[in-house]
Amino acid sequence: MANWSKLQTRSFLESSARDRAIGLVDEGTFTELAGPFDRMSSPHLVALGEAVEFDDGVVTGVGRIGKRPVFVISQEGRFIGGAVGEVGGAKMVTTIDLAIGFADELRAANPKIAPDELPLVAISFETGGVRLHESNAGLLAHAEVMDAFQRARGKVPVVALIGSRIGCFGGMGFVAAATDVIVMSEFGRLGLTGPEVIEEEMGKDEFDASNRALVYRTTGGRHKYIMGDCNFLVDDRIAAFRGQVTELCKLPVGDFEQFRRIGSAALVEKQMRAVALAAEMQPKDAYDVWRRAGNNDPAGLGDAPVDDFRKQAQRLSV
């Protein structure tokens, strides 16, 4: 097993799903559930003659940060682009339900339990969405995860962590948007339709997917931070993500409402104001919006070291 202390300094971007899961919680506390030794591979892939993985590309388990039980879901992008199929999806849903059930149990046993002793769910996304090989089952899994979020709301906070190679796209982009709080690194990307699909549908003039600078300044962590689509922008180290989750672990579940981007009448109105602004501005590039948010030198800000970016960036308010 990977050395926990070494994992802390490791690049989050470079780390496997399992290393991210282990490094996110306190040293030695991670217990994997439905792990590789349980050999829960996808039966659909076998039938199609496609390579399978013992954990179906999703690492699930539970550990602790301080006193708080942290249920971890971590997607592996190197296995079929982190695409979510039936087994992996079921593992995600079950993990969230375990957290909810555990929260209920703890509260029933001790109604005065301290908020920071109640469970939290952390999801490290690395996925392009549905695994097309098992489309219906994969889609259903997305809906079930969303449903589980609704059950968790007000009981167990759900934190999204996005900073891996594949980013978080497709249906899982919706899923991430439905979490309580989103933590990204500058290398993380979040969106619905992936860059290649946009190019395919709308043409290269509309969106050149091979232009990685364009892709990142439209879907990357810096842009999402300015737009308010992500709540926190952290360094690309496991320790940095862990540090942010540790801070969040101190908060009672009610405090997580302040981080949500969707899910209330007020937030819907805010989204509508953003849509109106887009209609008014007709931005040609993400940097137009950065400028509108009060950043006079968007290109300079985009290239600045991430620490300077955090200090200087003005976030869009609508």
Partner 1 sequence: MKVERQWNTLERDTAQRMEAAARFIGPGKQVKVEDVVPLLEAVVRPGDKVNVEGNNQKQADFLAEALCKVDPAKIHDLHMVQSSVPLAAHLDVFEKGIAKKLDFAFGGPQSGRVATFIREGKLELGAIHTYLELFGRYCLDLTPRVSLICAYEADREGNLYTGFNTEDTPVIVEATKFRKGIVIAQVNKIVDKLPRVDIPADWIDAVVQSPKPFFIEPLFTRDPGLVTERHILLAMMCLKGIYGEYGVKRINHGIGFLTSAIELLLPTYGEELGLKGKCCTQLVLNPHPTMIPAIESGWIEAIYCFGGELGMENYVRARSDVFFTGPDGSLRSNRALAQTAGHYALDMFIGSTLQIDQYGNSSTATANRVAGFGGAPNMGCDAKGRRHSTDSWLKCGREVPSMNELIGDMPRGKRLVVQGMETFGEGRAPAFVDRLDAWKLAENAKLDLPPVMIYGDDVTHLVTEEGIAYLNRCADLETRMAAIRAVAGYTEVGLRAKPEETKRLRDDGIVKTAADLDIDPDTATRDRLAARNMRELVDWSGGLYNPPARFRNW
Partner 2 sequence: MALNTLEFECKAEAASVRLAAPVHYGVVGSGDLEVILEPRDLEGAVTVKITTPVAGFDAVWRKVLETFVNRAKLADVAIDINDNNASPAVVSMRLQQAFAETAA
Q: Applying CB under 8 A, which residues contact partner 1?
A: 6, 10-11, 13-14, 186-187, 210-214, 216, 220-222, 302-306
Closest distance to partner 1 from the beta carbon of 10 (Å):
7
Report the partner that residue 108 touches, choosing among partner 2, partner 1, none (CB closer than 5 to 8 A by kind).
none
**What would the two tokens of residue 73 be?**
């879901």
- Judged by beta carbon, residue 23 or residue 89, the one nearer partner 1 is 23
Phi-psi region of 217 (alpha: psi -120 to 50; beta: other; left: phi over 0): alpha
Instruction: Choose from partner 1, partner 2, none: what does 41 bind? Cβ within 5-8 Å by kind.
Output: partner 2
Residue 279 CB-half CA count within 13 A: 6
Beta strand segments in 163-285, E: 181-185, 232-234
Kindly tell me which of 138 and 157 has the beta carbon lying closer to partner 2.
Answer: 138
Query: To the nearest whole angstrom, how small is the minimum distance from the Cβ of residue 121 to partner 2?
Result: 23
Q: Which residues bind partner 2 (CB under 8 A)?
A: 1, 3, 16-17, 35-37, 39, 41, 45-54, 76, 78-79
Q: Identify which of residues 23 and 221 has a Cβ nearer to partner 2 in the complex.
A: 23
Computed from CA positions of residues 232, 124, 166, 170, in that sequence, does the dihedral angle turn out positive or negative? negative
| CA–CA dist 141, 304 (Å, integer) | 39
Q: Residue 315 and residue 122: Cα distance in Å, rounded?
A: 25
The encoded tokens of residue 246 equal: 């540790």
211: which 2 tokens?
């232009």
Q: Pick between residue 51 and residue 299 the one whose CB is nearest to partner 2.
A: 51
Tell the smallest beta-carbon distance from residue 110 to partner 1 (Å).
43
Between 126 and 180, CB nearer to partner 1: 126
Instruction: Kindly state the smallest distance separating residue 195's Cβ from partner 2, in Å.
Output: 19
Which one of partner 2, partner 1, none interacts with residue 11, CB within 5 to 8 A by kind? partner 1
| Token pair for 122 | 């952390």
Nearest distance from C-beta of residue 73 to partner 2, angstroms: 16
| 78 contact, one of partner 1, partner 2, none, CB 5-8 Å limit per kind | partner 2
Q: Which helix (H) or strand (E) holds 147?
A: helix 135-152
Nearer CB in complex with partner 2: 117/196: 196
Q: Are 292 and 281 in contact (CB under 8 A)?
A: yes
Q: Which of 164, 143, 132, 155 is nearest to 48 (CA)?
A: 132
User: Could you say which of partner 2, partner 1, none residue 36 binds, taking C-beta under 5 to 8 angstroms by partner kind?
Assistant: partner 2
**Distance, CA of 53 to CA of 262 (rounded, Å):** 34
